[in-house]
Amino acid sequence: MQRSVSRFQAVVAGGLAAFLLSCSGGSKAPAESASKDLMVGFIYVGPKDDYGYNQAHAEGAAAVKTMPGVKVVEEEKVPETVEVQKSMEGMITQDGAKLIFPTSFGYFDPHVLEVAKKYPDVIFLHAGGLWTEGKHPKNVGSYFGYIDEGQYLNGVIAGYTTKTKKLGFIAAKPIPQVLRNVNAFTLGARSVNPNIVVTVVFTGDWSMPVAEANAANSLIDQGADVLTMHVDSPKVVVQTAEKRGVYVAGYHADQSALAPKGYLTGAEWNWPEVYKRFVESVKGGKSPGNFIRGGMKDGFVKMSPFGPAVSADAKTKFEAVKAEMMAGNFVIFKGPLKDNKGKEVIAAGTSLVQTDPVLEGMDYLVTGVVGSTGSK
Amino acid sequence: MELRQLVSRIARQVGALLFGLLLFLIFVAVQGRNPLAVLSDLAFGAFGNSFSWQNTLVRTAPLLLTALCTIVPAQAGIVIIGNEGALLMGGLGAVLGSMAFGFLPPAAGIPVILIAGSLLGAIWISLSGILRQARGVDPTISSLLLHYVGLAIFLFLVEGPLRDPATLNKPSSWSIPEALRIGRLGSSDVHVGLVLGLIACLGMWVLLKYSAWGFGVRIAGGNPRTAAMMGLPRNSPVIAVCAIGGACAGLAGAVEVSAIHYNANASLASGYGFSGILVAFAARQNPLAAIPVSLLLGGLHAAGGILQRRHGLSDASINVLQGLMFLAILMADGWGASTRRTAKG
Amino acid sequence: MLSFIMALVAGAVRLSTPFLFVSLGETITEKSGRINLGLEGILVFGALSGFGASYLSGSALIGVVAAGIGGALLGAIHGWLCGRPGTSSIAVGIAMMVFGLGISFYLGKPLIQPKAPQLPDIDLGWWATSPAVRAALRINLLFVLGLLMAPFLRWAFRSTRYGLIVRMAGENAQAARAAGYSVECVRLLATMAGGALGGIGGSFLSLYYPGAWTEGLSSGQGLMAVALVIFARWDPMRCLWASLIFGAAGSLGVALQSIGISQGFHLFNAAPAMLTLIIMTASSSTSGNSGRPRELTVFS
């Protein structure tokens, strides 16, 4: 017994030694083998193929991968804690990345800022409109897409398609970006028919499949026959709508494959175009800018192709509005506008263009929305 | 415990971990990856260079404290799995402490914030202890349920009454003032929380092993009837150990808020509490063993990034490795017990 | 008001099914004297196996069967590990949870995008004119199965030989051994049965509601179900009521919002946990839980 025990211990010691020896190894970093290429890093907070927010960014990354002289590394499911800092640093120190896309909104403060300070030669481009001149380092940039234009168009189509005049919006949290989408959708729908009512349900967090299914079913039970959403992965809502035989307008990415009958159209990000532009800039030695925003007209957002249920009238109106957006003439948020408690939020005669910072602080729901932001 | 037995036991645990690692390498080989390259990247990513070490230590720090939230009550026979809830309450406590006492100079303010967090965490887990003593409610289950309640209260407060209006699209509480944030150790990225965790683990080990109170707790945990016969009070160890465990997890939350996030928001709930449960069980509820186990777990997660990027192994692969190692340790325990049994005849 | 109540009823039916299956399965396991905290991992693994099998075979029913087999498999590992001397069943449970979740997420990566054939529903409300009532009465086969299983199990525990053997293993292992039954074998089979039911409960999530495979599918439902068993005092019929109450509590927040009440939606998300805690506190007593199988201790 004695000898077999120490033989076992010897094996264990040997195994441990082998492990410790391999600590100093590490495979050849891709950067060492092809130092001319630009290494770009993408970090996602969720899975890359979630049919939603992260997939939209991953599609952008896929487009970047096809560019000559560019290499891409990706990490998914990185939480918004010190771990993302380490992920970014790992890409920089271990893989030689010179351009990083930390794609989740919550990565910016403090994580991106901390790492950006440490590596002033690396460019960090973040999705969200947070960069402020003078406050944030120069090697960080914010980009932002006015996807509420897409939700407005969703609303227009929904307005033509609904028979019950009740629409449903499943949202994560009542933050300004979400409220902007809810309001844009409602304004779009009510521009077609002022009697339409949109009920909004907040699930509490960005990815809660059971709560989203619950919300979708509840809204449908209450009579909603077109749904849309602002959650990280619209997959559950889209599938639920299809199963219950109602219509759905998509968001983030194209979910039409999941709802061949019920999918009307969708508001999508157009990151492939945008990211290729950014990478071209960086490759050419120029900074892409610190604060880049765009809507439909700049190619930052696009709409999914129409589904089978969209009527000809709907398409006509859609194209008309879209043309105005493309020409830069369309204002979604203009006065007189009241919130759903009756208070005036935009005075008569005031037009808030997309770039107006007032919109970044939106904290109300417009008339026609059933629900509250929870805080008041 | 004599040295030979201790060496034999450690050899068994390490052997089990290596076996788990071996199973994992076979697993990745079946998936078409080069197992030797994966092994070397795993080791390198965890302990290979200064960056890897910092990466590992930064992930180890919270685990040391959250593990104690299960380890300490376990000495009295109470299994707590609500560590994550206590961590969140600790984060909340830190913010509340900072809001109330933010004007204090760092020497006083930082301890106040950390104590506030620990206090709230202690209260939270004590609730499980109290419910058990007063109403016989199973503390394992109640601590888990309290996690969900705590998470809801945390989110409600942090995104509602305690929200800093400037944090529009990432609703967060008021920030900890810059002067009162916890700094880093020297020029590294590792924050002082690591030291606090090490002190806590060592302190708990000394307390439980060598103090009269610790002795009483372990007796009560091992055999309540013996404890009663010896005249040890029945109630107090339970609530006290819950309070201490909760204080540790609460401290972890307070440190995360003061050192990493600088405010409290939904990102605080990222699973450190649950990982602490894993560490506690893998360390067989021994506070000293929690140190190498936390280090190992931190190292595995630190290497996760490089595995994703170099080998296309998804983030879940580290969870699989973790699970295999943990299962292997459990099998080793059983094997050790049965060989001891057969040796004795 | 009617629509609100209907929303709660619909929610109760929809959300309760996974809890029902997992808690019934865990009741079997715990009646035999063992606790299985790994059910969270088993639930998710069942969801994955069910989804994968349905996707590959084209039939949701095959998915459900596969989920049951997957759950039984993990249950077997759990049971085997617990049967070895010197292991704590809580530790094993946590290990199985970690392993089960890890392997499910790993194997499930390629399944996040695809759609798999879903379980059909039974439209019991065809007579109703109100869409809300109709929707509330649209139930699933698994729910019906669960509804039937609860009284069946109660009867089985009371009156069948197998039920008595399981209970004996849980109440008095010595007596069971003396009567010639291998307690280890009984507990292993009971854990496998519990795992199979837990796996089937998981398949409900991925094959019906919400009907997709994602990594956020379960947020502690497996662990909550273990709480439900204690809350139900190890009585299968009480598991049924507890699951329904749980389901209704879980849909409270969303039901309120769909009629326009949005305040405090975070707090409503914790309604099931809060409710369970309150009821457990109100109904427990210091003399211990009646109905607890005597052999069911925390450390093995």
Domains of chain A: 35-145 (3.40.50.2300), 148-268+305-370 (3.40.50.2300)
For residue C99, being part of any structural domain is answered with yes
Res B217: pLDDT: 85
Res C300: pLDDT: 32
User: Strand A197-202 to strand A247-252: parallel, antiparallel, or no bridges (unpaired)?
Assistant: unpaired
Among C99, C111, C228, C229, most B C-beta atoms within 10 A, so best to mutate, is C99
- Give the minimum alpha-carbon distance from B274 to chain A in angstroms, rounded to a whole number: 15
Is B37's pLDDT higher than 60? yes
Residue C134 CB: number of other CB atoms within 10 A? Answer: 18
Res C69: pLDDT: 96
Res B31: pLDDT: 87
Is A33's pLDDT higher than 50? no
Q: What is the mean pLDDT of residues A81-110?
A: 92
* Nearest-CB residue to C276 (from B145, B152, B277): B145
Is A301's pLDDT higher than 90? yes
Q: What is the pLDDT of residues A66-77, one digit of tens each?
A: 999 999 999 999
52-81 in C: which are within 8 Å (CB) of B?
Answer: 77, 81
Q: What is the pLDDT of residues A229-253, one digit of tens each?
A: 999 999 999 999 998 899 999 999 9
Is A31's pLDDT higher than 50? no
Nearest residue of A to residue C106 by CA position? A47
| CA dist., res. A314 & res. A316, Å (int) | 5
Q: What share of chain B is helix, strand, coil (3-state, %, to 5)?
A: 75, 0, 20
Q: What is the mean pLDDT of residues A327-340?
A: 90
**Which positions in chain A touch B267 (Cβ < 8 Å)?**
79-81, 106
| CA dist., res. B196 & res. B259, Å (int) | 12
Assign A132 a pLDDT band (cuts: 50, 70, 90): confident
Q: What is the pLDDT of residues B151-184, one digit of tens each?
A: 999 999 999 899 998 887 888 999 999 889 988 8
Please list the residues that pair with B265 across neighbouring strands.
B172
| CA dist., res. B268 & res. B262, Å (int) | 11
Answer for the pair B307, C79: CB distance below 8 angstroms, yes or no: no
Residue A297 CB: number of other CB atoms within 10 A? Answer: 18
Is A351's pLDDT higher than 60? yes
Res B336: pLDDT: 64
For residue C129, being part of any structural domain is answered with yes
* Nearest-CB residue to C85 (from B145, B315, B334): B334
User: Strand A197-202 to strand A166-171: parallel, antiparallel, or no bridges (unpaired)?
Assistant: parallel
Res A188: pLDDT: 95
| CA dist., res. B264 & res. B155, Å (int) | 9
Res C132: pLDDT: 67
- Give the minimum alpha-carbon distance from C213 to chain B in angstroms, rounded to a whole number: 15
Q: Which amino acid belongs to residue B157?
A: L
Among B275, B319, B329, most C C-beta atoms within 10 A, so best to mutate, is B319
Task: Tell if the CB–CB gap between B51 and A93 is shorter than 8 Å.
Answer: yes
User: Strand A123-127 to strand A99-102: parallel, antiparallel, or no bridges (unpaired)?
Assistant: parallel
Is A15's pLDDT higher than 90? no
For residue C300, being part of any structural domain is answered with no
Assign B339 a pLDDT band (cuts: 50, 70, 90): low
* Nearest-CB residue to C14 (from A199, A212, A217): A217
Q: What is the pTM of this model?
A: 0.90
| CA dist., res. A272 & res. A63, Å (int) | 5
- Give the minimum alpha-carbon distance from A9 to chain C in angstroms, rounded to a whole number: 21
Strand positions, DSSP E, A257-330 = 263-269, 291-294, 301-303
Res B344: pLDDT: 43
Nearest to B334 by CA among C83, A246, A43: C83
Question: Alpha helix (H) ranges present in chain C?
Answer: 2-31, 39-57, 60-83, 89-108, 131-136, 141-159, 161-171, 173-178, 183-207, 221-231, 236-250, 252-258, 265-269, 271-283
Q: Which of A65-74, B47-56, B113-122, C83-92 has the lowest mean pLDDT?
A: C83-92
For chain C, the domain total comes to: 1
Taking each helix axis as running N to C, give the angle between helix C236-250 and helix C2-31, from 0 to 180 degrees, rounded to the nearest 10. Answer: 140
Query: Which residues of chain C fall below pLDDT 50?
Result: 286-288, 299-300
- Give the minimum alpha-carbon distance from B110 to chain C in angstroms, rounded to a whole number: 30
Q: What is the mean pLDDT of residues B79-107?
A: 93
Which of helix, strand or coil describes residue C35?
coil
DSSP assignment of A79-131: -TTHHHHHHHHHHHHHH--SEEEE-SGGGIIIIIHHHHHH-TTSEEEEESS--
Q: Is C285 on the interface with B (CB under 8 A)?
A: yes
**Which positions in chain A touch C250 (Cβ < 8 Å)?**
210, 214
Q: What is the pLDDT of residues A175-209, one digit of tens each?
A: 999 999 999 999 999 999 999 999 999 998 899 99
A128: left (phi over 0), alpha (psi -120 to 50) or beta: left
* Nearest-CB residue to B156 (from C96, C264, C286): C264
Answer for the pair B292, B282: CB distance below 8 angstroms, yes or no: no
Assign B345 a pLDDT band (cuts: 50, 70, 90): very low
Res C149: pLDDT: 93
| CA dist., res. A186 & res. A203, Å (int) | 19
| CA dist., res. C299 & res. C230, Å (int) | 16
Tokens standing for A102?
A: 């930390």
- Give the minimum alpha-carbon distance from C72 to chain A in angstroms, rounded to a whole number: 25
**Which positions in chain A touch B189 (Cβ < 8 Å)?**
85
Nearest to C124 by CA among C134, C115, C114, C132: C134
For residue C237, being part of any structural domain is answered with no
Answer for the pair C19, C246: CB distance below 8 angstroms, yes or no: yes
Is A24's pLDDT higher than 80? no
- Pairwise pLDDT comparison (B233 vs A212), residue with the higher score: A212
Tokens standing for A370?
A: 């059933």
Please list the residues that pair with A346 across neighbouring strands.
A337
Q: Which amino acid belongs to residue A311?
A: S
Nearest residue of A to residue B161 by CA position? A375
For residue C28, being part of any structural domain is answered with yes
Q: Which of B91-105, B260-274, C224-238 has the lowest mean pLDDT?
A: C224-238
For residue C254, being part of any structural domain is answered with no
Answer for the pair B128, B141: CB distance below 8 angstroms, yes or no: no
Tokens standing for B320?
A: 């699989």
